Structures are given as C-alpha cells and as structure tokens.
Amino acid sequence: MFKVENVKKRFGGVQAIKGSNFEVPENKITALIGPNGAGKTTLFNIITGFIKPDEGDVYFRGQRITGKHPFEIANMGVSRTFQQVRLFKYLTIFDHLRMADDNQDTKLFKNLFARQKVDKEAYEKVLEQYGIERGLDALASELSYGQRKLLDLAMAQRKQHKILMLDEPVAGVNAVIQERIENYLLDLKQQGETILLIDHDMKFVRRLADYVIALDAGVVLVDGEPEKVLTDKRVLEAYLGE
C-alpha cells in the first residue's frame, strides 16, 4: 500500500528522521510504535503531504506522492486523523458528517447549503454506530474530548478512502471510549480495511495489529508480527525501558 524509501527529515539541528524504509501491507492493521521523538507523527505528516522530506520518497499503490499537496493525497484515498483532534468548533456534528460524505472539505459552503437534501435519519444511525451521545445539531465545541475523537474517527472512515491513518486514536480517552474505538477498529479489520496507526499502548497494539513497525528516529529497529516485535530485546530496551 505505502512504501517509504530512505526518508530523512531535519528540524534545525535535530535529525528527526535519519533514514526511514518500510512498507505498509494492504488489508491489515499496521502499528507504528515508539516513544516521543521516534518520528512517528513526523512520518505521518510526510506521508500525507503536510511536511516535505529533505530526502527520500513515498509511494502510494506504486505512485510516487512525494511533494504532493495534502488535498491531492487525500483525494487519492488517504484518510487520516490527527493526534490533536481537528474539528470546526462552531459547526455541528451534522455539518462535519456531511463534509466527510461529500469528500469535499475544501468546498465548505457548498456542503453546508446542500444539507437539506440529506436524509438525517441516516446520520442518526451514524451517531448510534459510533456511540456519539449528542444530537446532530450539537456543535463540535460542545463535545467532550472522547466524543470529539469518535466524531473524528467517524469522519475519517466515512470519507472515500483506501487506507485509514490514525494518529493515537485512543490517547487521552476513558476506558469506555477506548473499548468502543477498539471494537470498531476490530470490525473494520474483519472487513479487510487497511489501517496504519500510531499508539503507545502496547496492549492495544497487541490486540489490534497484524504487523508492527518499531522506530527509533524514524529508523526501523525491527518489524513483523506483534509478538516478534514486542518481545524483541531492542524494542524492550528502547521503548519499554527494560
């Protein structure tokens, strides 16, 4: 699905990504693991066009996407969430879902003026499906952090996509929301979705991931099946403090 070739990135005097090489398999859940500073989110931002690498290339389904704008990569079928949830605080849940379904985030007013043409009952079912506990007319600013995470996930999944990229999907949420998100991702896994996620919770990664990539400054220490990676001595020393 994705192929990352010798990607390097420096921020001032810090070499954040020293030379990253890995591939993301199709129809599986792949986890990028590592502590703060391992380069996970930087790689996410490079893959999705928010940051340009100093060196190296990224390929999506065989096509070079290095240097493309984020909206171009998104339109190719790459849907992502961010570590810090990015919603429009003064727009409603309905507005956000409508934009996701239209796959036209850049044409905001067009989407909003077309809202009466939409069957709201279908969106009520989305709220139930994702466990969003507020009504469609609730503003994003009125949602708790966990509920914003659920809406963010719902939007990412409903956009036309070939891969979901989730940056710490359960970070900072309570146990109930985490279980809800985990169960939903397991359902997507059963449906054959391709998912690339970042998370620090090794138990969460072990339960969900088919494939794990352990990073150190963007360099792959080891990759493979979860049990192989999570019990590797280098991973235990570098990431788990053992």
Residue type, 127: L
Kindly report the pTM of this predicted structure: 0.87
Provide the greatest CA pair distance for the chain.
Answer: 57
Find the helix or strand (DSSP H, E) in which 196 lies.
strand 195-198
Can you tell me the mean pLDDT for 137-164?
94
- Give the mean model confidence (pLDDT) for residues 94-106: 76
Write out pLDDT tens, residues 172-198: 899 999 999 999 999 999 999 999 999
Q: Please identify, in words, the CATH class of the domain defined by 1-77+161-242.
A: alpha beta
Q: Buried b vs exposed e over 148-167: b needs ≥16 C-beta within 10 Å?
A: bbbbbbbbbbbbebebbbbb
- The residues of the chain that CATH labels 3.40.50.300 are 1-77+161-242
Q: Give the chain's mean pLDDT.
A: 88
Q: CA-to-CA distance for 197 and 112, rounded, in angstroms?
A: 31
Q: How confident is the model at residue 77 (pLDDT cuts 50, 70, 90)?
A: very high
Phi and psi dihedrals of 118, rounded to 5? -95, 140
pLDDT tens-digit map of 160-174: 999 999 999 998 899
**Range 130-151 average pLDDT:** 93
Number of Cβ within 10 Å of residue 180's Cβ equals 20
* pLDDT of the residue at 201: 85
**How long is the chain?**
242
